[in-house]
């Protein structure tokens, strides 16, 4: 069926007689893109004709197709009936997603990144569409990404097929997700509802974070009631915590009844004030300590984790506390869900826990300490682990082998108790502390998404920060995984090629090869988040292949903006490779010292410093400059740290230790801190 010919529309875009704001928005988006493709002007008409030619956009229940089909939430249907092309959704969100899916799957648009100038819109004056019926259900029911706000990102989330985008307001807060600051202003809340729910059909608003200080502000309560905060006499005050009489403002006493009352009151007020908020995710403060008060210890002694990391675990008190809040909230707001952030020291449940938890209590897993080179269900063999783990600088077999295999059991323990839904929060953008170093984990992430669905998870998403560096480095992963949550039939290769076609145009083939080479390299080394481990991906051979592919890509006939994108990848690749080179020098230092060649280490140290100099100069380039500005992160990584076992500080420390050992501590005091 032809909907336009030689740049002239052959029909209008119809919406129901009394369209919802979401239907109108979806129809306008369709008309806008059809014009960008064909130059044809499609007018938007209220009322659906009995016969075509026509394009109809709306929720299925509000069109003449109602009753013909049961549609799952957010699913989409394209069908032609009496020369009317129906682009319908099960609900408001499905309607909007359906329009973008049509533009992509039928007309060849690609929405690789969030700025409109980053979109790939093919040009053609005549548009003929297939009359074959197409019905699609989302692979995962809840698809999202979380982070600070950005207007374009709200649209991009819908274009990628996600259920939720981030807030639509530009967030001017510093990159700091905790503190006493309110989550949003009243104006922002209204704008969020209007932009995300009313216009773009998001199924409600999910909010939350490391919110304890906001809910029970230390400035208000700590002086009069230190007993509301964690008893933890080993702590000392610093930039984020005040410690007094053994109480630590950064931790909460989860068993104190007044604390429960304060939190319950907060949430009752919150959900009354914001009726569109449908879920609140409660995380403890990021890195908060256990409460060692007698009441808390009666219920749970903080214990050493066995599955995820070495730190103390004290999940039970926290879970029981959140359950109390969820029960109180359910009495007044039965549609609202509370979600426990299963994170850091609140990850592992004790085996013997047996508690009847409320129906409205969900869990989100944020497993940041895991290894990233593989999907959750694809551990390396034991032989491979023994061979490759020692190369991961800050790992050991004992610490890390279980990180590949323990999650099945971890999820099962939670599933045994929790009646609500499970979501997974991924770290596709690594951490801010890795300064934007490439993190090629998208192929493993696509496999993880399939595994999680098979485990009964209803949602997956990633954290995200809106900055040019994040998009340059992680845009590929965000797109591929976002699409993978929507489309379970598409392979990683399909989606990676789609991204490359949209973002690199005629350079797509070498760029696909480039991303594939990085993903292959990542598959063979063991790494967690953070520069000291990720750098292993950028070995000489991988980088030589990648450089060659990027050179090929630059030879393709592509616009200047695409060339810039390719050059960004050259910069990012160099960043990884320079760090890999420093590590090679360090290994030569280690060898020299093992062979008692102290004299040779000075020239090696100089070699290290020359590479360090190149790294810091590389960070003068625009996408990376931020690494120098934000808390001086890159300087810290260049110098390294003893805990990382890499960098100049590590090299000098080893040289110093060697002198000490050889000359029996004449020159350096053995106990002297480095
Ligand atoms: Zn306590």
In this structure, what token pair is assigned to residue 78?
């394209």
| Interval between CA 239 and ligand 1 midpoint (Å) | 23
Lowest mean pLDDT among 168-172, 198-202, 293-297, 630-634: 168-172
Q: What is the mean pLDDT of residues 258-266?
A: 98
Question: Does 558 have pLDDT greater than 90?
Answer: yes
pLDDT, tens digit, 9 for 90 and up, residues 570-609: 999 999 999 999 999 999 999 999 999 999 999 999 999 9
What is residue 171's predicted lDDT score, i.e. its pLDDT?
Answer: 64
Radius of gyration of the chain (CA): 27
Per-residue confidence band for 15, with pLDDT thresholds at 50, 70 and 90: very high
The Cα–Cα gap between 340 and 446 comes to 24
| Strand extents, DSSP E, 500-598 | none
Q: What is the mean pLDDT of residues 267-291?
A: 92
What is residue 310's predicted lDDT score, i.e. its pLDDT?
Answer: 65
Residue 607 CA: distances (Å) to CA of 248, 401, 581, 582, 611: 46, 34, 10, 8, 7
Tell me whether residue 244 is in a domain: no
- At 64, is the secondary structure helix, strand, or coil? coil
Question: Does 617 have pLDDT greater than 80?
Answer: yes
| Interval between CA 91 and ligand 1 midpoint (Å) | 46
What is residue 281's predicted lDDT score, i.e. its pLDDT?
Answer: 93
- Total residue length of the chain: 674
**Contact status, residue 476 vs residue 93, Cβ threshold 8 Å:** no
According to the per-residue pLDDT averaged within each range, which of 606-615, 623-632, 640-649 is highest?
Answer: 606-615
| Interval between CA 255 and ligand 1 midpoint (Å) | 5
In this structure, what token pair is assigned to residue 235?
């702590």
| Interval between CA 427 and ligand 1 midpoint (Å) | 31
Tell me whether residue 43 is in a domain: yes
* Angle, alpha carbons 194-163-377 (nearest 5°): 155
Strands 205-210 and 277-283 come out as: parallel
**Contact status, residue 253 vs residue 228, Cβ threshold 8 Å:** yes
Which residues make Cβ contacts (< 8 Å) with residue 287, sequence separation at least 6?
A: 250, 344
Helices 508-524, 492-504: axis angle to 10 degrees equals 140
Strands 76-81 and 134-136 come out as: antiparallel
Domain that holds residue 95: 2-136
What is residue 476's predicted lDDT score, i.e. its pLDDT?
Answer: 98
| Interval between CA 260 and ligand 1 midpoint (Å) | 12
Strands 361-366 and 422-426 come out as: parallel
Question: Does 631 have pLDDT greater than 90?
Answer: no
**Contact status, residue 488 vs residue 455, Cβ threshold 8 Å:** no
Question: Does 94 have pLDDT greater than 70?
Answer: yes
Tell me whether residue 400 is in a domain: no
| Interval between CA 351 and ligand 1 midpoint (Å) | 21
- At 17, is the secondary structure helix, strand, or coil? coil
The Cα–Cα gap between 68 and 462 comes to 36
Provide the CATH number for the domain around residue 31: 3.30.379.10
pLDDT, tens digit, 9 for 90 and up, residues 411-452: 999 999 999 999 999 999 998 889 999 999 999 999 999 999
| Interval between CA 308 and ligand 1 midpoint (Å) | 24
DSSP letters for 540-565 = HHHHHHHHHHHHHHHHS---HHHHHH
The Cα–Cα gap between 555 and 552 comes to 5
Q: How many CB atoms lie within 10 A of CB 237?
A: 12
Neighbours of ion ligand 1 (CB under 5 A): 253, 255, 291, 293, 296
Q: What is the mean pLDDT of residues 525-553?
A: 96
| Interval between CA 267 and ligand 1 midpoint (Å) | 21
Question: Does 172 have pLDDT greater than 70?
Answer: no
| Interval between CA 291 and ligand 1 midpoint (Å) | 5
| Interval between CA 495 and ligand 1 midpoint (Å) | 49
What is residue 673's predicted lDDT score, i.e. its pLDDT?
Answer: 63
| Interval between CA 259 and ligand 1 midpoint (Å) | 10
Q: Which of 337, 511, 483 is nearest to 419 (CA)?
A: 337
Beta pairing partners, 646: 641
In this structure, what token pair is assigned to residue 69?
């089909």
pLDDT, tens digit, 9 for 90 and up, residues 212-241: 999 999 999 999 999 999 999 998 898 888
Question: Does 638 have pLDDT greater than 90?
Answer: yes
Question: Does 296 have pLDDT greater than 70?
Answer: yes
| Interval between CA 261 and ligand 1 midpoint (Å) | 15
| Interval between CA 406 and ligand 1 midpoint (Å) | 29
Question: Does 566 have pLDDT greater than 90?
Answer: yes
- At 320, is the secondary structure helix, strand, or coil? helix
Question: Does 175 have pLDDT greater than 60?
Answer: no
Strands 127-128 and 2-5 come out as: antiparallel
The Cα–Cα gap between 186 and 520 comes to 47
Look at the alpha carbons of 519, 523, 528, 532 in this order and tell me if their dihedral is positive or negative: negative
Q: What is the mean pLDDT of residues 129-145?
A: 96
| Interval between CA 423 and ligand 1 midpoint (Å) | 28
What is residue 176's predicted lDDT score, i.e. its pLDDT?
Answer: 57
What is residue 662's predicted lDDT score, i.e. its pLDDT?
Answer: 86
Tell me whether residue 31 is in a domain: yes
Tell me whether residue 64 is in a domain: yes
Tell me whether residue 49 is in a domain: yes
- At 249, is the secondary structure helix, strand, or coil? strand
| Interval between CA 292 and ligand 1 midpoint (Å) | 6
| Interval between CA 360 and ligand 1 midpoint (Å) | 25
Percent residues over pLDDT 70 in the chain: 98
**Looking at per-residue confidence, does 631 or 103 come out higher?**
103
| Strand extents, DSSP E, 289-370 | 303-304, 312-313, 337-343, 361-366
| Interval between CA 414 and ligand 1 midpoint (Å) | 23
Q: How many CB atoms lie within 10 A of CB 588?
A: 17
Beta pairing partners, 280: 207, 338
What is residue 431's predicted lDDT score, i.e. its pLDDT?
Answer: 86
| Interval between CA 294 and ligand 1 midpoint (Å) | 7
Question: Does 548 have pLDDT greater than 90?
Answer: yes
| Interval between CA 310 and ligand 1 midpoint (Å) | 22
pLDDT, tens digit, 9 for 90 and up, residues 188-220: 899 999 999 999 999 998 888 888 999 999 999
What is residue 317's predicted lDDT score, i.e. its pLDDT?
Answer: 95
Sheet holding 337-343, edge to edge: 142-147, 459-464, 422-426, 361-366, 337-343, 277-283, 205-210
Q: Which of 472, 464, 477, 430 is nearest to 621 (CA)?
A: 472
| Interval between CA 298 and ligand 1 midpoint (Å) | 9
53 upstream amide cis, omega within 30 of 0: yes
| Interval between CA 254 and ligand 1 midpoint (Å) | 6
Tell me whether residue 534 is in a domain: no
Per-residue confidence band for 670, with pLDDT thresholds at 50, 70 and 90: low
| Interval between CA 290 and ligand 1 midpoint (Å) | 8
| Interval between CA 369 and ligand 1 midpoint (Å) | 26
Q: Chain-wide mean pLDDT for the chain?
A: 93
What is residue 165's predicted lDDT score, i.e. its pLDDT?
Answer: 92
| Interval between CA 156 and ligand 1 midpoint (Å) | 44
| Interval between CA 322 and ligand 1 midpoint (Å) | 15
Question: Does 68 have pLDDT greater than 80?
Answer: no
Per-residue confidence band for 52, with pLDDT thresholds at 50, 70 and 90: confident
| Interval between CA 283 and ligand 1 midpoint (Å) | 17
**End-to-end CA, the chain:** 75
pLDDT, tens digit, 9 for 90 and up, residues 360-414: 999 999 998 899 999 999 999 999 999 998 877 777 887 788 888 889 999 999 9
Question: Does 173 have pLDDT greater than 60?
Answer: no
Number of domains in the chain: 1
| Interval between CA 235 and ligand 1 midpoint (Å) | 15
- The pTM assigned to this predicted structure is 0.95
| Interval between CA 175 and ligand 1 midpoint (Å) | 30
Q: What is the mean pLDDT of residues 553-573?
A: 97
Tell me whether residue 360 is in a domain: no
| Interval between CA 231 and ligand 1 midpoint (Å) | 6
The number of angstroms, rounded, from the C-alpha of 362 to the middle of its chain's C-alpha atoms is 19
Question: Does 308 have pLDDT greater than 90?
Answer: no
């Amino acid at each position: 069926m032809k909907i336009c010919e030689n740049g002239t529309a052959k029909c209008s875009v119809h919406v129901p007689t009394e369209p919802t704001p979401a239907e109108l928005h979806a129809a306008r988006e369709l008309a806008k893109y059809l014009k960008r493709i064909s130059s044809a002007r499609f007018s938007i008409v209220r009322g659906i004709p009995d016969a075509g030619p026509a394009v109809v956009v709306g929720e299925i229940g509000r069109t003449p197709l109602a009753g013909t089909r049961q549609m799952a939430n957010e699913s989409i249907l394209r069908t032609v009936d009496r020369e009317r092309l129906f682009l319908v959704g099960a609900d408001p969100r499905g309607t909007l997603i359906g329009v973008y899916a049509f533009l992509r799957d039928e007309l060849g648009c690609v929405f690789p990144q969030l700025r409109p100038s980053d979109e790939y819109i093919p040009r053609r004056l005549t548009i003929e569409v297939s009359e074959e019926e197409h019905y699609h259900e989302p692979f995962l029911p809840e698809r999202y990404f979380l982070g600070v706000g950005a207007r374009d990102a709200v649209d991009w989330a819908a274009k990628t097929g996600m259920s939720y985008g981030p807030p639509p307001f530009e967030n001017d807060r510093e990159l700091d997700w905790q503190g006493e600051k309110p989550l949003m202003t009243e104006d922002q809340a209204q704008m969020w509802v209007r932009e995300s729910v009313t216009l773009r059909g998001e199924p409600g608003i999910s909010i939350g974070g490391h919110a304890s200080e906001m809910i029970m502000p230390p400035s208000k309560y700590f002086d009069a009631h230190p007993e509301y905060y964690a008893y933890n006499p080993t702590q000392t005050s610093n930039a984020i915590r005040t410690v007094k009489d053994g109480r630590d403002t950064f931790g909460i006493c989860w068993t104190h009844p007044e604390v429960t009352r304060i939190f319950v009151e907060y949430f009752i007020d919150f959900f009354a004030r914001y009726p569109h908020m449908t879920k609140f995710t409660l995380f403890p403060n990021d890195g908060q300590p256990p409460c060692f008060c007698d009441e808390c210890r009666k219920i749970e002694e903080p214990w050493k984790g066995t599955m995820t990391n070495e730190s103390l675990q004290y999940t039970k008190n926290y879970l029981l506390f959140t359950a109390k809040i969820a029960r109180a909230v359910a009495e007044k707001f039965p549609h609202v869900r509370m979600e426990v952030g299963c994170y850091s020291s609140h990850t592992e449940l004790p085996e013997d826990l047996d508690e009847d938890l409320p129906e409205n209590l969900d869990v989100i897993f944020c497993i940041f300490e895991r290894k990233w080179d593989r999907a959750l269900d694809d551990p390396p063999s034991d032989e491979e682990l023994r061979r490759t783990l020692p190369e991961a600088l800050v790992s050991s077999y004992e610490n890390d082998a279980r990180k590949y295999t323990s999650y099945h059991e971890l999820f099962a323990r939670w599933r045994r108790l929790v009646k609500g839904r499970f979501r997974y929060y991924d770290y596709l953008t690594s951490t801010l502390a890795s300064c934007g170093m490439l993190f090629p984990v998208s192929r493993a992430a696509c496999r993880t998404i399939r595994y999680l669905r098979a485990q009964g998870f209803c949602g997956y998403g990633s954290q995200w920060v809106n900055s040019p560096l994040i998009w340059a480095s992680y845009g590929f992963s965000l797109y591929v995984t976002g699409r993978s949550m929507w489309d379970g039939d598409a392979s990683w290769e399909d989606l990676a090629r789609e991204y490359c076609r949209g973002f690199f145009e005629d350079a797509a083939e070498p760029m696909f090869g480039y991303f594939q080479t990085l993903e292959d390299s990542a598959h063979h080394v063991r790494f967690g988040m953070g520069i000291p481990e990720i750098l292993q991906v950028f070995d000489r051979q991988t980088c030589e292949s990648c450089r060659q592919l990027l050179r090929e890509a630059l030879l393709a006939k592509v616009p200047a903006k695409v060339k810039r994108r390719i050059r960004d990848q050259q910069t990012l690749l160099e960043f990884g490779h320079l760090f890999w080179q420093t590590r090679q020098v360090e290994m030569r230092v280690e060898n020299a010292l093992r062979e008692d060649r102290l004299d040779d280490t000075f020239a090696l140290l100089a070699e290290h410093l020359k590479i360090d100099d190149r790294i810091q100069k590389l960070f003068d380039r625009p996408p990376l400059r931020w690494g120098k500005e934000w808390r001086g992160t890159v300087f810290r990584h260049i110098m390294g740290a003893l805990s990382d076992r890499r960098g100049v500080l590590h090299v000098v420390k080893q040289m110093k230790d060697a002198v000490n050992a050889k000359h029996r501590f004449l020159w350096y005091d053995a106990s002297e801190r480095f």
